[in-house]
Structures are given as C-alpha cells and as structure tokens.
Amino acid sequence: MSFLTPLAFIAALLAIPILLLYMLRLRRREVLVSSNFLWAQVVRDTEANTPWQKLRRNILLFLQLLILAALVFALARPFITVPTVSRGQIELLLDASASMNAVDQPGGVSRFETARQQALGIVDTMGAGDLMTVIRVSDVPEVLLGATADPVLLREAINGAQAGTAEADWTAALTLAAADATGAADVSMVIISDGGLGEASGLPGVPGNLRYVPVGQASDNLAISALSTRARPGQQTELFAQITNYGSEDTEVIFDLRVDGELFVAERYTVPAGQNLPIVSSRLPVNFTALQAGLTLPAASTARDYLAEDNTAWAVSSGASDRRALVMSAQPNRFLDQVLRSLPGVQYTQGDVTQGLPNQDYDLYILDGWLPATLPTGDLLVINPPGSSLLFTLTGESEDTASPTVLQNDPRMTFVDFADVSVLRFKTFAGVEWADPLIVAAGGPLLLAGEVDGRQVALLTFALTESDLPLQITWPILIANLLNWYAPPAVISALDGIQVGGSLSLRPPLDSTEIRITRPDGSIRTLSVDRQTLAFADTDLAGIYTVEVLRGDEVSQRAGFAVNLFSPVESTITPQASISLSGVEITPALRDEVGQREFWPWAALAAILILLIEWYVYQRRVQARTVFQPVLRRRSVG
C-alpha cells in the first residue's frame, strides 16, 4: 500500500495536545456528604489536582485518538495498484440510447444502470495524473463533465445520467470526443455500450486507444415497428401496423388498440422468431383523432420481452389525402384543367352541366360560366357567372379595365401581379357586401372573395377566354392562393410521424404570429413565426404532440403528429461481443493498464462511525453523573 499525500501524517502530531488536555484535566466533583469522616477526601482531592498527573485508562481518550488516526489515514490517501481499462486522457462514452433501458441484468437491473456501475469502477481505478471526460451518448450527445481528475465530480456526473428513448448518434458522439481529446498525448476512447453503433461503425480516424466495455445478456424483444393510417376520399380509414419479434423463439402477444383513449380492440397474435407480422384493418371508426397501440405478453406466458420502450406506438388521423373539387363549365376550359392538374393536394372531377350537379358532396365547386338553379352548400369559385343568384345580382358589363390594382396586403394576393394582365370586359354585380374586392380595375372589381352563409366564396367577374390571364405566371399563383384560402395547407406534413429525436418542418400560414407545441408530458414549447418554414427538434419523448397555430390570441389551426421509436438498431437488443470502428474489430477491453484504487472514503467513514460511538459514551457518562448526585443528597438528608 502507498500514499498519495504522505505529508498528511504530520497531522498525527495533534495527538500531543489531546494527551496534554487529559493530563491537565481537573477531576473535582462537588458531592453532598453526611459525615465529617468524608472530609479526608479533601486531601486526596488536592493531590489529584496537581498540574500534572499520570494518564489513566479512559475510553474517551482512546476513541478520540482513534478518530484522529482514521482522519490522518484518510488525508494521506492510501491506495493500491490495480489493473484498469485505461489511463491518461480518458474519453468515456456512456451509451444512453433506448436499448440501454432493457432490463436483462441480474436482479432486474437495466443495462444503463450496469453501464453506470462499470463507469464508476473506471473512476475508482484512475491513477495520479489521469483525466476523464464523461459524454452521454443519445440522439444529441452531451458532455456531462469536462476533463477532470476529481473523482467526486465524476461520480456525481455519472450517477446523474439517465438513459434516453431515442437512437444514439454515435457519429456525433465520437466526433465530439475526438475534438475534446485534441492535443492530448495519451488518449483512450472507452465505449460502454451494448454494441449498437449503427452508421458510426465505418467512421474513420478515431484517435487514441479504443476500448469497448460490453453490457447486456439477452436478445428477447418484441416491438411495434410500424403504425400508420391512410384515408382516401370516399373510403374508410385504414390501419397498418407491424409487430417484430427480435428474439429466437416464436412468441404469443396481445396487441391492443386504443382510439382517442378508449380501448377499441385487443387480439392475440403469434409472431414467428426473427420475423415481422403485418396487421391491416379497415374497421377504424370515423372522425377519430389519435390511435395508441400496445403490446403485452399473456399472463401465463413464459416468454421474455426485455425492452418496454418499443411496446407502445402512436398515430394520428391522416384525414383525406386530397381536397375534392368539382368543375362545372359551360364550355370546355383547358386553362382550368391544366392549372388544377399542376397543383398538389387537389382531386378534381369534371361535371356535365346538362346533367346538373351530382348527388355526391365535394369540398369545392368551381362554376365556370354556369349557375345551377340552387347553389351547392360547399365552398364556391364562380367564374364569369351568366346571371344572378342568392349571393349576388348581375347589373351589367364594363369595358373600363384599365389600371387594375391588387390588394397586396391580403394573403390571398401574395405574389399576384396584374400589371401585365389584359382583360377585354367584365361583369358588374350588386349585393356583394360580404366580399372583399381583391383586384379592382377602373370600372369595378375583377375579383371578389369573402365568407357568406358559413362558406367561402370567390367571384371572378370576367371570362378567362376574354383575357390573357391564363397565359401569365400569375394565373397558377392566383389559383394556388385561393385554394390555400379555401383549405389552408396543413402546418405539419409528417402525418405518419417521426422518430424519437428527429426534427419536423413546420409551415405556418403567412398571417400567423406564433406556434405553440404541447409535448406528451404536457410541457409547452413556443416558436415565433419569423420565416416561412420552421424546424422543431425537441422530440425526445414518444407520444402525441399537439401543434396550435396562433393568429394573435386566436388559435387558427390545430394539428397533431406522432413520435415513435421505430428503430431496428435499438429494438435489436442482442448484445455485441465486439464492435467495428475505424475499420478495426474491437473486442471487450481487458484490464491491462495499471490504475489506483484509493481507500480514503472508507477511512473517513470509519472516523465518522467512531465519532458517533465517542458521543454515545460521553452522553452515558453525563447521564450517570446526573443520577448519582440526587441519590447522595437523599442519603445526607436521612
């Protein structure tokens, strides 16, 4: 055994003043006596109070000297040399990915807890001059503690680390560790993991000595590897789910599905070993919002499912994939046909004016040079109407089409330019107070739009064939803006969801001021709308996220998206005996370096325990004296 700070033994000289205090201690005690014969004790007492006296056996003195010895021993920092995994500048990469939550260790301990104990063991065997950096490896690598030799801080950082629920980004973690080790002479990369490095296995140029400490024992795991919905116009919403058995035995499992929080169905399936089991269903109820699927093993099952994080998945209703439009034209209009074909998210049908409106309902009705006897109840785009209706009254025509102006501050007119558009004539209308004039010529409005009777209506007052608008670039822009006004594009495009730790693009409307996102745990994140596309990456929790688009204090749009694990790398929990990194096969690390194991914490603990014993002995003596004095007083009175 050796000592890191042997000069601490000088503190043992404190035993001298402790001994002197006991040698000079006054041993007088006042006692009531009932006889003069006891006065003879005065002489003896005088002799006992001489300045110096012999030390007597005293348990308190012994305990106090023992406390001092333990403290001095702790300050000297005794240690022994032991084998260790690495030394020098140690970059400790602690795997905190989803698979590290697998509970396959003895006593029901998770892999991550085992990894922490392995890391603490490396801290305990650090030698003099060794430094360690602790990096938690999850979807976003995090430096828990920079290079330090302080074991207390290192233990605190490692004990405070928690496993995540996402796929680890080992490429970023190793890059971060390499940057931290730049300039160090003796570098060791210590990876404590179950071996799932993913794409990082081919990463070139990792510096230092690579060390791998494996954790994990079993491979049995069942997972929901896919969950999505699909809806087509006029058809019932379909569900697609997939269960994957990553174990080596066929396993029976119960698959349950909850619709908007209520249990909808629970069925048993047998999933073959190492295979996928698809589940397709069209029995979903209409107008649902969210789905939650789960896996559980039957009560009598002897199978094992060591990872719970991939046993639950979520999905949101996708709704109809396209907006359905009906075009009713008095004459064939190839300009409308071309522009509707070019715009995404629109499924249009060409109707026959001789047959009238069909019985089927549509989201948008485009009436071109034709009006039915009764207007449909959906949204309307009316082009060059031939007469009057309940919404407007035809009053005449005008050829004063000079100087058309556009209401530029209206979102429906974004990027619309009518400066080079020529119109031969247009019709004039009355009774359109419900509409805003968006494009106005010298003789009157060319385009009006507004809301009336609970629907959105736009009125184009001229025939497309009597203008060069369809030949201008502003024509598809105008139609796209109007379609976005009828049905604003979804702020979220990832209806099928994203992986935990992934990022999501948000496309807020131009007139929105803020986006509010509620996470599965109820916490809220807010994003200011300062550009057309925003990114949201705070998705470290699996579940349903709710997105609200605010226009001032009003919620103008609400949508949801699902975040799931869905990672074969994490669900494949089979521990790897070795890993491949920088083209090198790395086997489990051997303790071929020499480290130091210190014992000062045990010595300090012993000092505290002895101090408690010394306090107890002292209190017993004080209580004994307190009881003895009243007894003497009672005898003297008698």
Question: Per the structure block, which two tokens stand in for 610?
Answer: 């002895």
pLDDT digits (tens, 9 = 90+) for 85-132: 555 788 999 999 999 999 998 888 999 999 999 999 888 888 777 899
Give the DSSP H or E segment for 436.
Answer: strand 435-441
- With residue 460 as reference, give the H or E element that holds it: strand 455-460
Amino acid at 448: L
Give the pLDDT of residue 637: 45
Rounded Cα gap, residues 117 and 124, in angstroms? 10
pLDDT given at position 378: 85
**Which residue matches tokens 């404590």?**
192
The counts of H helices and E strands in the chain are 10, 34
Q: Residue 307's closest CA among 569, 579, 577?
A: 569
What is the reported pLDDT for 576? 87
Phi/psi at 617 (5° precision): -60, -40
Q: How far apart are CA 614 and CA 71, in angstroms?
A: 15
pLDDT at 80: 57
Q: Measured between alpha carbons, how far is 181 from 384 in angstroms, rounded to an integer? A: 73
Per-residue pLDDT at 368: 95
- Residue numbers of the chain with a pLDDT score lower than 70: 1-4, 23-56, 77-87, 198-205, 231-235, 318-322, 345, 488-490, 493-496, 510, 532, 582-583, 589-600, 624-638
Quick one: pLDDT at residue 636? Answer: 46
Is-contact 76 176, C-beta < 8 A?
A: no
Residue 477 CA: distances (Å) to CA of 426, 473, 484, 547, 557: 21, 7, 11, 27, 23
Q: How far is CA 501 from CA 97, 121, 518, in A?
A: 11, 30, 16
Rounded CA gap, 234 and 405, in Å?
Answer: 41
Q: Which of 518, 384, 513, 408 is nearest to 459 (CA)?
A: 384
Q: In this predicted structure, what is the pLDDT of residue 32?
A: 63
The dihedrals phi and psi of 622, each to the nearest 5 degrees, come to: -65, -40
> Measuring CA to CA, which residue among 572, 565, 367, 580 is closest to residue 463?
367
* Token reading at 325: 């439009």
Which region holds residue 563: left if phi is over 0, alpha if psi is between -120 and 50, else beta? beta
pLDDT, position 557: 82
